[in-house]
């Protein structure tokens, strides 16, 4: 077998009691196989001492590394983030509980070479497999295999078993095409690899299932089924995976620009995460009203006086040394590979900007979580829900500047923000990029930040009102990206609720139609509101969605009727 290096990715969640021993056992096994290796353990925001135990293993063994995610987003997300640190030309997925012992990787490595395979996966249905496996899990596995075979025709007998081996190139091409991060991650990965023409073979596996009851719940089965259908829809109907997903490995210098009134706890959190980004060449520029001492010498503070966010960003960009300028709000903080993921999208000069989702952090309080759930509802944000929760890669023409990375050359060509609207300044800026420069703005779900929501519900509605008033006004000023039916729907709804009962005064039949329409609306909100499986947030979120519809609808009409808006914040 030619000299190879193997990167072993081990996602771990609450494995503190076992992880040190299991890492040591994996390391011993790889030494016996006789291949150059590295072990990357991805702690998916465990609540126990998993990270500390992996750190101890890393200190004891130089070939072990820890990658810690700050929020639990599922096994798929963990593997994807860990892969970015992998340096081997072969990459293996190994479950950290060692239900499947890594000694079997020796056979998989030989199978890959002998059969010219690009992917080798463990298969419970292989005739050579030996399973100590609960009967109910066997039944679920057999049913899922039948469904997958019917929908996708994969040339394999299993998709969900944890042990897998890949050529590095396969994951490099496939990972950024994927949307599923949790329940049907393995399926989407293998469907994409097969769709791109890579050779997948299965191999026997021995499983000593340690958790007799397992971690699988009905909710997991439900979401796995939904995600499986979503993968089929994207593959066969949307042809989403057929689109070009080029990436560049260029890493230009990036200037992170943060407009802020002054120091605050959110800013401190934001700067801390910025300084821990895994990107080789960037700077951080903070633009407060008045001077303050930066918490780290790597941070530049440029006082601007009391001006609006647009003017601050213009000042910061003029001082920026980067080829790209990354705009970030002080109440948002980036994931560690934020810039790595963003810069990979700038494959050609016609791509002027890239944005990504601002996800509500799990640490936010009750009303902030409710506010985030309201914004993340399709019933509120419609086609713009991708701003609040990861969705598929796409081209956009209007994107908020709380998470927007822009070519400095394009910024200068359009004259910067050049307006004092707030909110809405980013709508004007993006319109100049797509209309005047004829360039593109891309959305990438992996260019993610965590964005704190308003801590009081009254402030949430004030924010919604401001958004609505400006959007209504922009229908007249900037119709290219604002005169769209989705923005009018809440106002039409408000008008229907307020006036729709009048015909019922003359016709009982029309009164029944009105009552039926209201009932259908309420049912839609009850079914379509995020958080249905979390009773703690669900009732407040339902009421928040309804109140947001009324607030936005009335505010939008107010903006439509306004002769002129104040353009300063």
- pLDDT single digits (tens) 432-446: 999 999 999 999 999
In tens, the pLDDT along 312-328 reads: 999 999 999 999 999 99
Q: Where are the beta strands (DSSP E) in 319-458?
A: 324-328, 332-334, 351-355, 358-359, 394-396, 403-407, 440-443, 449-451
DSSP letter string, 446-474: TS-EEEPPPSSHHHHHHHHHHHHHHHHHH
Asked if 35 and 108 touch (Cβ cutoff 8 Å), the reply is no
pLDDT at 425 over 90: no
According to the model, what pLDDT value does residue 569 have? 40
- Flag the least confident range among 11-20, 31-40, 422-431: 422-431
Which regions of 321-480 does DSSP assign to beta strands (E)? Answer: 324-328, 332-334, 351-355, 358-359, 394-396, 403-407, 440-443, 449-451
- pLDDT-derived band at 1 (thresholds 50, 70, 90) equals very low
Judge whether residue 371 has pLDDT over 80.
Answer: yes
In the predicted model, what is the mean pLDDT of residues 54-83?
90
Give dist(CA 338, CA 340) in Å, integer.
Answer: 6
Cβ 253 vs Cβ 324: under 8 Å: yes
Q: Is the pLDDT of residue 197 over 70?
A: yes
Helix intervals (H) in 38-134: 50-60, 75-83, 105-115
Chain center to CA of 337? 12
- Flag whether pLDDT at 194 surpasses 90: yes
Query: How sure is the predictor about 72, in pLDDT bands with cuts at 50, 70 and 90?
Result: confident
Beta bridge partners of 406: 325, 353
pTM, rounded to two decimals: 0.84
Percent of the chain whose pLDDT exceeds 90: 70
Walk me through the domains of the chain, giving residue ranges and CATH numbers. Answer: 5-242 (3.90.550.10), 254-359+370-448 (3.90.550.10)
pLDDT at 209: 62
State the pLDDT at residue 568. Answer: 41
User: How does residue 219 score in pLDDT terms, banded at 50, 70 and 90?
Assistant: low
Give dist(CA 363, CA 249) in Å, integer: 33
Mean pLDDT of 161-171: 94
Which pLDDT value is given to residue 456?
A: 92
Check residue 440 and give its pLDDT.
96
pLDDT value for 3: 66
* Rounded mean pLDDT, 53-64: 94
Q: What is the pLDDT of residue 212?
A: 43
Band of residue 213 on the pLDDT scale cut at 50, 70, 90: very low
Nearest to 169 by CA among 143, 211, 199, 205: 199
């Amino acid at each position: 077998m030619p000299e190879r290096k193997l990167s072993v990715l081990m996602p771990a969640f609450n494995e503190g009691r076992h992880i040190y021993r299991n890492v040591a056992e994996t390391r011993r096994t790889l030494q016996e196989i006789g291949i150059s290796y590295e072990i990357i353990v991805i702690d998916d925001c465990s609540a126990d001492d998993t990270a500390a135990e992996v750190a101890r293993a890393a200190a004891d063994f130089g070939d072990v590394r820890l990658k810690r995610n700050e929020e639990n987003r599922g096994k798929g997300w963990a593997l994807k983030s860990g892969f970015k640190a992998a340096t081997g030309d072969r990459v293996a997925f190994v479950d950290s509980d060692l239900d499947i012992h890594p000694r079997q990787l020796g056979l998989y490595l030989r199978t890959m070479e002998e059969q010219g395979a690009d992917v080798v996966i463990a298969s419970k249905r292989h005739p050579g497999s030996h399973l100590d496996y609960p009967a109910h899990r066997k039944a679920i596995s057999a049913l899922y295999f039948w469904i997958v075979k019917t929908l996708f025709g994969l040339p394999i007998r299993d998709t969900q078993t944890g042990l897998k081996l890949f050529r590095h190139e396969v994951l490099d091409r496939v990972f950024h095409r994927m949307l599923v991060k949790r329940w049907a991650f393995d399926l989407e990965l293998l469907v994409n690899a097969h769709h791109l023409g890579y050779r997948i073979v299965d191999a026997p596996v021995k499983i000593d299932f340690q958790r007799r009851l397992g971690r699988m719940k009905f909710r997991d089965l439900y979401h796995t089924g939904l995600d499986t259908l979503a993968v089929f829809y994207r593959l066969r109907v949307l042809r989403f995976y057929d689109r070009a997903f080029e990436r560049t490995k260029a890493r230009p210098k990036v200037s992170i620009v943060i407009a802020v009134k002054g120091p605050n706890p959110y800013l401190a959190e934001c700067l801390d995460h910025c300084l821990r980004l895994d990107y080789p060449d960037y700077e951080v520029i903070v633009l407060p009203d008045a001077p303050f001492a930066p918490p780290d010498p790597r941070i530049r503070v440029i006082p601007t006086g009391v001006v609006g966010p647009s003017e601050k960003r213009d000042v910061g960009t003029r001082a920026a040394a980067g080829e790209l300028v990354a705009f970030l709000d002080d109440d948002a903080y980036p994931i560690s590979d934020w810039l790595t993921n963003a810069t990979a999208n700038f494959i050609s000069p016609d791509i002027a900007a890239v944005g990504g989702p601002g996800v509500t952090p799990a640490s936010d309080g009750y009303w902030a979580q409710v506010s985030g759930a309201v914004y993340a509802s399709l019933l509120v944000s419609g086609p713009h829900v991708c701003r609040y929760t990861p969705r598929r890669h796409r081209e956009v023409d209007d994107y908020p500047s709380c998470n927007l990375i822009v070519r400095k050359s394009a910024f200068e060509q359009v004259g910067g923000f050049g307006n004092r609207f707030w909110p809405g300044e980013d709508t004007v800026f993006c319109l100049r990029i797509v209309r005047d420069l004829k360039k593109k703005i891309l959305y990438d779900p992996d260019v993610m930040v965590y964005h704190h929501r308003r801590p009081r519900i009254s402030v949430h509605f004030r924010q919604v009102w401001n958004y609505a008033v400006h959007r209504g006004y922009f229908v007249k000023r900037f119709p290219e990206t604002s005169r769209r039916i989705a923005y009018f729907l809440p106002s039409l709804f408000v008008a229907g609720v307020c006036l729709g009962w009048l015909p019922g005064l003359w016709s009982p039949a029309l009164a029944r139609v009105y009552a039926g329409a209201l009932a259908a609306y309420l049912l839609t909100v009850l079914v379509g509101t995020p958080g249905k499986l979390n009773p703690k947030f669900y009732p407040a979120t339902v009421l928040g969605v309804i109140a947001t519809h009324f607030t936005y609808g009335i505010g939008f009409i107010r903006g439509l009727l306004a002769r002129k808006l104040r353009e300063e914040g």
